[in-house]
Chains A and B, each alone.
Chain A
Amino acid sequence: MSTDIPLTKPETGENPVNPFLRMDRMPSIWCPGCGIGTTVNCFARAVSQCGLNLDKIVVVSGIGCTGRVAGYLNLDSFHTTHGRPIPFATGLKLANPELKVIVYSGDGDLIAIGGNHFIHAARRNIDIVVVCINNFTYGMTGGQVTPTTPSPAVASTTPYGAFEHPFNLPHLADSCGATYVARWTSYHVRQVAKSMREALNKRGFSFIEIISPCPTLYARRNRLGDGLDAMKYYAEKSVLKNGADTREVGIAYQGEIIIGKFVDRERPTFIEAYNERHAAALGPKFTPYPTGFGPQNGGGKPAPAEG
């Protein structure tokens, strides 16, 4: 965001998000009213405000509508296999800890097929940011039920309504040891950008869940209107509770959505723990593995006062 505000009305202008996008691939494949693009705007905002070196930022995604984010961002980006962006990101980060690695994927990809990798990366406190766009569905394949779909929402594989108990993602992340856990919705654009900025500057496993509309599948099958109706539901039913107990932030069907920053703590990252243990055991024979911490990584500019 430019801090120089012109005195006269600009006749032309460049969309501030353009440098972050692969313009030659627009328009995106996302449906009208899909909230994924909104979160990408917030991400672009957060990245530019962090002052991070764009060359060192890498986005890793899985398969799904949210997985396509990697293809639209003008950053080093990797569109990997279904459920596996997190272990790919782990290898990438450990090979070059200087990189700022962000996993950007959907609820089905990260938590169903990717669930195992999610809990282990959180446990290990791998220094990555995981952005989970939760639209309660597998959109790309036509709207099937996911582990976050609340009962009794209709999905293509639960035509009589979902009946399983869904995951409470912030609680899952918190209980596995994530050091930053927040949930917002696509409606809360400023908070999303701010939260992403905080996560980008924080060391360790950061998890941001963003509830987002899927107008074509989740909303349509459940007669919940379009993307705008979903956003209005988020605006109306969201309750801000920073620091809430994550055990209590589960979402019922069309129910209250508790948003906020729930967890923000410190503990050694994977590489820090690795270095500590090996130094203790090997003494001077061990050269610490680089943590990558520095202005680009976990030591960046603090968030400005204004969001």
Chain B
Amino acid sequence: MKADPKGVLTGAHYLDGDHACCEGALAAGCRFAAGYPITPSTEVVERIAARFPRIGGMFIQMEDEIASSIAILGAAWGGLKAMTVTSGPGFSLMMEHIGLAAMTETPCVIVNVQRGGPSTGLPTLPGQADMLQAKYGSHGDYEIVAVCPNSPQEAFDLTIHAFNLSEKYRVPALVMLDECVGHMTERVIIPAADQIEVYPRRFTTKKSGEYLPFLANHDMVPDMIKAGDGYRVHITGLTHNEKGYPAMNWQAQEKLIRRLVNKIRLHADEIVRYEETDVDGAEVVVISYGISSRVALRGMELARQKGARVGLHRLVVAWPFPEKRVTELARRVKALVVVEMNYGQMVREVERAVKGACPVVLCGHGGGNVHDPKDIAEAILAARFARRPSEAFAGVEV
């Protein structure tokens, strides 16, 4: 269905990533937000606090990120599309509720404007070291989806996409920004509302006695309801059966968890999204995401000046990871170079997908600044002659 025009700020704007993210949420139909100030994400909720009251949404600054991350789940069960925003330290606090959202299949969006970590780290400087935490941060087996904008325009577009994914698969969707994209101001085109596709929440059409809250459809996703509609559902974070009642046995666990993970894994082909540049005939392909992918383009340019044939595979959806495509690429290239602002996170997924078919070189660093394109160029040039299956460049051990 089309976006509600009330929330769509149609026009050409000059916005930073944080602000564009807020506008994306509004365009997607988000009408509840809870948040807590944390650099470099604070601007998102500041804009939300200014915009939401004017369009009938509700924003509440909660007392901490733990409260924010569960308030959005309450709001989702109250019938609204809901979002919270944070950065590293707050992201860590939200882990339990990402698990609760996954377990109760509550649609919600969590934005992490990544900064230098670990711990308090570098609040005002970029990082990309929360990528594995995005997938594995909560306890137990579960799946989430995560998108990686590399520009304010993508911060707008992919926030809408995150909402759509979370509604379609009833799963928490993460928007993994970084401080650079968050605080970078660029042109953002917001189209007319009828140009924006918004996935509506799939409410059940069944009557109260017939509806089972966790009985999945053929797509492994159950229909949803909202509290107050007379369905008298019980929703719990305990392992539960299709009725929603706690079921404390391994059979129920197996049945439920298998569906929760397969819900995403078996739909990975539909969810995966990447952008490739000059990959045909490349001897080295760079795999990157977020701000690093833009710096990588410059590094690739420099490498080409020295004769390298290099392409870029940019992750737009980071989780689920595009395993099949990376496995394919690995067979066609001399090496893959993973450019990320950390000491080795998505590179592990790349290595897993590559299964030793070609060397994988990590061009990473501790964060706090974007890569020096010269380092990326050198990594690309050296990768052409890489021998070992996995290598780290510039003294970074994987």
Contact = CB atoms under 8 A, between A and B. Distances in A.
A–B: direct contact at CB < 8 Å:
yes
A76 B71 CA distance: 17
B67 interface: yes
Interface in A53-71: 54-56, 58, 60, 70-71
B97 interface: yes
B78 A95 contact: yes
Contacts of B238: 79
B78 A94 contact: yes
Interface stretch (B118-126, B160-168, B194-202, B225-233): B225-233
B53 A99 contact: no
Interface string A81-123: 1001001111111111011000000000000000011001000
Contact of B237 (A54, A79, A274): A79
B32 to A, nearest CB: 5
A1 interface: no
A74 B236 CA distance: 14
Contacts of B228: 55-56, 58, 76, 96, 98-99
B78 A92 contact: yes
A278 interface: yes
A285 interface: yes
Contacts of A22: 234, 245
A163 interface: no
A75 B234 CA distance: 8
Nearest to A287: B56
A76 B233 CA distance: 5
Chain B interface mostly = mixed
B74 interface: yes
Contacts of A77: 233-235
Interface stretch (B57-65, B271-279, B353-361, B364-372): B57-65
A229 B228 CA distance: 40
Interface string B27-54: 0000010100000000000000000011
A98 B79 CA distance: 12
Given A91-B72, A91-B74, A96 B227 contact: yes
A286 B55 CA distance: 8
A101 B236 CA distance: 16
Interface string B210-242: 000000000000000011111111111110000
B70 interface: yes
A255 B98 CA distance: 43
Interface string B68-81: 10111111111110
B330 to A, nearest CB: 41
Most chain A CB neighbours (cut-off 10 Å) among B34, B78, B233:
B78
Contact of B67 (A56, A76, A84): A84
A96 B225 CA distance: 13
Nearest to A74: B232
B100 A92 contact: no
B238 to A, nearest CB: 7
A91 B71 contact: yes
B328 to A, nearest CB: 41
A282 interface: yes
A78 interface: yes
B120 to A, nearest CB: 20
Interface string A282-294: 1001110100000
A278 B53 contact: yes
Given A71-B245, A76-B227, A78-B77, A88 B63 contact: no
Contacts of B34: 87, 91
Contacts of A84: 66-67, 70, 97
B203 to A, nearest CB: 14
A25 interface: yes
- Most chain B beta-carbon neighbours within 10 Å: one of A95, A270, A278: A95
B74 A70 contact: no
Contacts of B80: 95-96
Contacts of B137: none
Contacts of B67: 84, 87, 90, 116-117, 120
Contact of A282 (B54, B232, B236): B54
B155 interface: no
B375 interface: no
B32 A91 contact: yes
Given A58-B228, A99-B228, A116 B237 contact: no
Contacts of B234: 22, 70-71, 77-79
A87 B230 contact: no
Contacts of A92: 74-75, 77-78, 227
B323 interface: no
B71 A289 contact: no
B256 to A, nearest CB: 15
Contacts of A270: 60
A116 B77 contact: no
5 contacts: A79-B238, A96-B80, A116-B63, A120-B62, A278-B53
Closest 9 CB pairs of A and B: A95-B78, A91-B74, A91-B71, A79-B236, A92-B74, A87-B67, A91-B75, A95-B75, A88-B74
Interface of A: 22, 25, 54-56, 58, 60, 70-71, 74-81, 84, 87-96, 98-99, 116-117, 120, 270, 274, 278, 282, 285-287, 289
Given A76-B232, A78-B236, A94-B71, 20 more contacts: A77-B233, A78-B77, A78-B234, A81-B96, A84-B66, A87-B63, A87-B71, A87-B74, A92-B77, A94-B58, A94-B75, A94-B78, A95-B32, A95-B75, A95-B79, A95-B82, A99-B78, A99-B228, A116-B63, A282-B53
